[in-house]
Amino acid sequence: MIQIDVYKMLQTADGELPLDISLAIKKGQFVSIYGNSGAGKTTILRVLSGLTKAEKVNIKVEESIWDDSNKKFHLPIQKRSIGFVFQDFALFPNLTVKENLEFALSKNDSKEIVSELIELMELQSLQNSKTENLSGGQKQRVALARAIVRKPEILLLDEPLSALDDEMRFKLQDYILKIHQKYNLTTIMVSHSIPEIFKLSDQVIVVDKGKIVKEGTPETVFTEQKVSSKFQLTGEIINITKSDIVYVVQISSGNNIIKVVATEDEVKEYKIGQKVLVASKAFNPIIQVLI
Amino acid sequence: MINLDPLWLTAKLALITTMILLVISIPLCYWLCYSRFRLKAVVEALISLPLVLPPSVLGFYLLIAFSPENAFGKFLSDYFDVRLVFTFEGLILASVIYSLPFMVNPILSGLKNLPPALQEASFTLGKSRFTTLTKILLPNIRASLFTGIIMTFAHTLGEFGVVLMVGGSIPEETKVVSIAIYEEVESMNYDNANVYAGILFLFSFSILLAVHLIHNKSRKTTLY
């Protein structure tokens, strides 16, 4: 069990904002932290890892105390059993992929874990490359592998997949899940993506303006507010044509062109170039598997 | 035939000054980059002072300070039997102070330009500040270290005012090239002055050329 109580003044674009949260995470769980930018999500990870100090903080991991501001106790970052994956990867440009992983070893550690992780993350062909030549997805795999070398109890992921395209995201989500299960980690991930949270996490914590506003399983937290049988799209009118007694309005939304039927009275209010909302309450969506 | 002693003396002075400054500047820059000390700006201003102050002003104060007539000089002379006025040792100390910004500024800006996450990542991997500095931070600011070394060396070669004030012009002790040139000109030996000046000119130019070539190359290959 990880018990975290934090109080810290955050400096945000809109002035000061107190981050005041208290949360308990069970061992082995995958927990996501969701919320708007500047809500204090990353700060929670940073305080837990010891990278950021807080005015008041109590952190207890299993039986050991990591932070106790009443007793002015602060366990140094180096002694906390964590793996941290930074948003911008933070790979060491002077080292190769393999050396980045080996850097994390302590003096007497066996190098076995490094080869094991290189294999698990499918980095064999890249292991002697310098990290600056890698693609975003490859860098992320190296960062993930490096964070596991010390076999930490807790894996902290700060928006690990935000810089990647969809295909890469799906692949890396599988890697994250694989690692989480294989090494019995307790994983805490900051994420903006609801599908990602659904796919990966057991628990989700919604943070807004420095407070926890909701917590529970992804289903209970997101179902009521985000998922419904109603479809809504925004787009722009690109053409209006008359077809027999009705009008056809063409709307461009994302990569799609949608055709909607309208009456003569309705068309009078529309202009080409207008931004519009297309909504439908009852129809039969078809789901097609893409990958 | 010109006397080669001033050339050797200058090279020796520049080399020793550069080595001392490298050793001092790395911990100093690390502290300046990461500490939250309130009066840091004062320290930074003091370090940069030799950039704007006339060398003769600095030389004058150092001469006064080193003089055995005054407290600091007397203390050195009484307790350590060290004399810094008109000696090579005094010249080294003066050069170290005079060239300090040329070593500190490139290293400091190199460190400041590194993403903070590099150091943090190293900490989360269980590494100490020292290991992080030597294995991660310094190797990633190689170009800045190189610039600092070269600029310090080149700048020390060209010293005149400070050297003249603190060192005078004692052959084989404090008579460096820039002073030798001045003396040759004063005694109308333009040919000798020409040789000294030419060597200094070519040497300084090649050094600066090397810095720029290396910087252009590293900009293409380094990410940060």
pLDDT digits (tens, 9 = 90+) for B53-110: 998 898 999 899 888 888 888 888 888 888 888 889 999 999 999 999 999 999 999 9
Q: Examine residue B51 and state whether it is found in any structural domain, yes or no.
A: yes
Q: Examine residue B223 and state whether it is found in any structural domain, yes or no.
A: no
pLDDT values of chain A reduced to their tens digit, one per residue, 291 residues: 899 999 999 888 888 889 999 999 999 999 999 988 878 899 999 999 999 999 999 999 999 999 999 999 999 999 999 999 999 899 999 999 999 999 999 988 889 999 999 999 999 999 999 998 899 889 999 999 999 999 999 999 998 888 777 788 888 899 999 999 999 999 999 998 888 888 899 999 999 989 999 999 988 887 765 545 567 777 788 888 888 888 999 888 777 788 888 888 888 888 888 888 787 766 666 777 766
The answer to whether the CB of B59 falls within 8 A of the CB of B95 is no
Calculate how close chain B gets to A152, using CA atoms only, in Å: 10
Q: Does A172 touch chain B (CB under 8 A)?
A: no
Calculate how close chain A gets to B122, using CA atoms only, in Å: 8
How does the average pLDDT of chain B come out, rounded?
A: 90
Calculate how close chain B gets to A202, using CA atoms only, in Å: 25
Give me the pLDDT at residue A193, please. 83
Give me the pLDDT at residue B139, please. 96
The answer to whether the CB of B166 falls within 8 A of the CB of B94 is yes
Residue B21 one-letter amino acid: L
**Set of chain A residues whose Cβ sits within 8 Å of the Cβ of B127:** 78, 103
**What ipTM does this complex have?**
0.81
Interface test with B, best of A86, A146, A149, A156 (most B CBs within 10 A): A86
The answer to whether the CB of A17 falls within 8 A of the CB of A210 is yes
Alpha-helix residue ranges (DSSP H) falling in A41-165:
41-49, 97-103, 112-120, 136-148
Q: Examine residue B213 and state whether it is found in any structural domain, yes or no.
A: yes
In this prediction, residues B184-196 reach a mean pLDDT of 92
Calculate how close chain B gets to A55, using CA atoms only, in Å: 17
Chain B residues whose C-beta sits inside 8 Å of any chain A C-beta: 115, 117-118, 120-128, 135-136, 139-140, 142, 222-224
Q: Examine residue B222 and state whether it is found in any structural domain, yes or no.
A: no
Q: How far apart are CA B38 and CA A157, in angstroms?
A: 34
List the structure tokens of A155: 């894996």
Neighbours of A42 (CB within 10 A): 19
Read off the pLDDT of residues B165-175 as tens digits, 9 standing for 90 and up: 888 888 888 88
SS3 A28: coil
The answer to whether the CB of A214 falls within 8 A of the CB of A206 is yes
Interface test with A, best of B125, B133, B222 (most A CBs within 10 A): B125
Read off the pLDDT of residues B4-42 as tens digits, 9 standing for 90 and up: 889 999 999 999 999 999 999 999 999 999 988 888 999
Q: Is the whole model's pTM more than 0.90, yes or no?
A: no
| CA A283, chain centre distance (Å) | 32
Interface test with B, best of A87, A99, A100, A103 (most B CBs within 10 A): A103
B120/A90 CB distance under 8 A: yes
List the structure tokens of B79: 């307790």
- Output b/e per residue, A176-185; b: 16+ Cβ within 10 A: beebbeebeb
From first CA to last CA, the distance across chain A in angstroms is 37
At B222, is the pLDDT very low, low, confident or very high (cuts 50, 70, 90)?
very low
List the structure tokens of A291: 């990958």
Q: Does A160 touch chain B (CB under 8 A)?
A: no
Q: Examine residue B8 and state whether it is found in any structural domain, yes or no.
A: yes
List the structure tokens of B185: 């000109």
The closest alpha carbon to A233, from A278, A281, A280, A276, belongs to A278
In this prediction, residues B116-126 reach a mean pLDDT of 96
The answer to whether the CB of A157 falls within 8 A of the CB of A182 is no
The closest alpha carbon to B218, from B162, B123, B143, belongs to B143
**How many separate domains does chain B show?**
1
**Set of chain B residues whose Cβ sits within 8 Å of the Cβ of A93:** 140, 222-224
Q: Does A93 touch chain B (CB under 8 A)?
A: yes
The answer to whether the CB of B155 falls within 8 A of the CB of B99 is yes
Give me the pLDDT at residue B224, please. 38
Q: How far apart are CA A127 and CA A101, in angstroms?
A: 9
Q: Residue B59: which CATH number?
A: 1.10.3720.10
Calculate how close chain B gets to A170, using CA atoms only, in Å: 25
Q: Examine residue B76 and state whether it is found in any structural domain, yes or no.
A: yes
Give me the pLDDT at residue A243, please. 83
B120/A78 CB distance under 8 A: no
A6 vs A9, A20, A53, B136, CA distance in Å?
A: 10, 6, 10, 31
Q: Of A79, A93, A147, which is closest to B222 when you measure between CB atoms? A: A93
The answer to whether the CB of A135 falls within 8 A of the CB of A166 is no
Percentage of chain B lying above the pLDDT 90 cut: 58
Strand order in the sheet with A211-216: A82-85, A154-158, A186-190, A30-35, A203-208, A211-216
Q: Examine residue B96 and state whether it is found in any structural domain, yes or no.
A: yes
Give me the pLDDT at residue A81, please. 94
Q: Examine residue B224 and state whether it is found in any structural domain, yes or no.
A: no
Structural domains in chain A, CATH included, are 2-222 (3.40.50.300), 231-289 (2.40.50.100)
Q: Which domain holds residue B196?
A: 4-217
Give me the pLDDT at residue A45, please. 94
B136/A92 CB distance under 8 A: yes
Percentage of chain B lying above the pLDDT 70 cut: 96
- Output b/e per residue, B175-210; b: 16+ Cβ within 10 A: bbbbbbbeebeeeeeeebbebbbebbeebeeeeeee
- For A79, nearest residue in chain B (alpha carbons): B126
